[in-house]
Amino acid sequence: MSLMVPGSVAVIPGAIQRYRNRDTEHLFRQDSDFYYLTGFSEPDAVLVLAPERSHGEVILFCRERNARAELYNGERVGPERAAEKLGVDDGFPINDIEEILPGMLEGRERIYITLGAYPDFDKRLMQWVSAIRAREAGGAIPPGEFHALKHLLHEQRLVKSALELKAMREAARITSMAHERAMRCARPGMTETQLEAELVHEFMTNGAHTPAYPSIVGSGANACVLHYVDNASVLKKNDLVLIDAGCEYQHYAADVTRTFPVSGRFSKSQQALYEIVLEANRAGIDSCRPGATFSDPHVAAVSVMVQGLLDLKLLQGELTEILETDAYREFCPHNSSHWLGSDVHDVGDYRVDGAWRELEPGMVLTVEPGIYIRDDASTGALAPRWRGIGIRVEDDVAITSEGHEVLSHAAKDVSDIQQLMAEGASL
Ligand code: GLY
Ligand code: MN
Ligand code: MN
């Protein structure tokens, strides 16, 4: 609230309950902005920040208690207990928002809100503002400005507190165990779905109820489909399998990718490509430090990958020229990092005044270089042994005052992976 301009109000709606079919709901997941400010995970809620409002500045609208509804769906906090349980100043029934919220907007020059996130709510908000405007001749002062909440809130979310880092460390720890479990359990003849089940088992037994995003388990050429989630193919002995999966723990995400051979042993060509991606991952991580820019890990990773592809003669030409012309994009089509936090692709600007943002302690990003050689890769001279291979190695990295802390520790050296898999095969 201290960042808001005088005479303003912020309105932050919670997520809405969505249905997967008829009366069956998707598992509810609270809106990350709303949760960051409240820690409140019930649907049908709106938070209002009204600095200098004499009856309370932090106001929560939420569902009233209801014995019948609570019989089916569990206990509600209810407006009467909101102050005591959540530390807000005041609680009101969500069903009364129509009567109460317009009064909180009246006389405030600016409304901070994320427009577009909840269009139905936006529409109602506009109607309330219009209603105030209609009374302007009678002295009512309608808000004149809508301002993106993100300029204030997402800057805060971008820099994680000690408590948030603790949750992220745990999310990454559980996720790393899940990846190693998958390495131990993988066998030719299994389906990708069965391997996914091993990940989910590890997430849930360790207190993470859901993945932070749909798990990608892609064997063979499926690994070249960047967001492959069918996970329906059978694992073949000579294929690699790429797993991009992370759990959500206490509302914070991990996002980790490992790639390993179904048989437990990398072939020569698989290992050659894998070592390049691993070296790129390490080079990217090494460049994570305060004062470096967001793009530095990507630049470092891509240089390593292009040099590696040149050494293997999978690319021809001169390093700097290839980097400048994007000629490597067929094999390395995506960027190597994004912010990580409550959302897997977390909030926060990547550029400031047009320039890549400087990394600061408390920021968390992924480093995830990848090489993908599709079956139909256009480079004609490619021998078949290179085709249908997708490799990504993704870690979660927190910037610290000294440099960085890697949060994810799943095995990634060739020898460590092969050893884990050999142990798993003997079980
Ligand atoms: N799992 C999506 C990503 O790595 O960004
Ligand atoms: Mn990922
Ligand atoms: Mn990622």
What pLDDT is stored for residue 377 in this prediction?
A: 84
Across the 427 residues of the chain, what is the mean pLDDT of every consecutive 10-residue run?
A: 96 96 96 98 98 96 98 97 97 98 96 96 96 93 94 96 98 98 98 98 98 98 96 97 98 98 97 98 98 98 98 94 92 97 98 97 98 84 89 98 98 98 92
Produce one character per residue of 255-270: b if its CB has 16 or more CB atoms within 10 Å, e if not. Answer: bbbbbbbbbbbbbebb
Ligand 3 (ion): which residues have CB within 5 A?
Answer: 255, 366, 368
| Options 19, 20, 22, 23, the catalytic residue | 23
In short, whether 296's Cβ falls inside 6 Å of ligand 1 is no
Choosing from 228, 242, 338 the residue with most ligand 1 atoms within 8 A of its CB, the one to mutate for a pocket test is: 338
- Give the C-alpha separation, 169 to 151, whole Å: 27
What pLDDT is stored for residue 76 in this prediction?
A: 98
Which residues of the chain are in CATH 3.40.350.10 domains? 8-156
What pLDDT is stored for residue 353 in this prediction?
A: 96
Tell me which residue has its CA closest to atom 5 in ligand 1.
345
Element (H or E) spanning 62, and its range? strand 58-62
pTM, full prediction: 0.96
Annotated active-site residue 372? The verdict is: yes
CA 334 / ligand 3 centre spacing (Å): 10
Which residues of the chain are in CATH 3.90.230.10 domains? 159-426
Give the β-pairing of 8-13 and 110-113. Answer: parallel
In short, whether 343's Cβ falls inside 6 Å of ligand 1 is no
What pLDDT is stored for residue 380 in this prediction?
A: 59
Annotated active-site residue 23? The verdict is: yes
Please check whether residue 377 is in contact with residue 403, taking contact to mean a CB–CB distance below 8 angstroms.
no
In short, whether 255's Cβ falls inside 6 Å of ligand 1 is yes
Distances (CA, A) of 84 to 11, 77, 94, 353: 21, 10, 18, 43
Using a 10 angstrom Cβ sphere, with 0-12 exposed, 13-18 middle and 19 or more buried, the burial of residue 67 is exposed
Fold of 8-156: Creatine Amidinohydrolase; Chain A, domain 1 (3.40.350)
Annotated active-site residue 345? The verdict is: yes
Annotated active-site residue 334? The verdict is: yes
Atom number, ligand 1, closest to the C-alpha of residue 246: 1
In short, whether 395's Cβ falls inside 6 Å of ligand 1 is no
In short, whether 213's Cβ falls inside 6 Å of ligand 1 is yes
Annotated active-site residue 244? The verdict is: yes
What pLDDT is stored for residue 376 in this prediction?
A: 87
Atom number, ligand 1, closest to the C-alpha of residue 345: 5
Superfamily of domain 159-426: Creatinase/methionine aminopeptidase superfamily (3.90.230.10)
What pLDDT is stored for residue 379 in this prediction?
A: 65
Atom number, ligand 1, closest to the C-alpha of residue 245: 1
Please check whether residue 215 is in contact with residue 231, taking contact to mean a CB–CB distance below 8 angstroms.
yes
Q: Across the chain, which distance is largest between two alpha carbons, in Å?
A: 82
3-state secondary structure (DSSP) of residue 66:
coil
What pLDDT is stored for residue 327 in this prediction?
A: 86
3-state secondary structure (DSSP) of residue 213:
coil
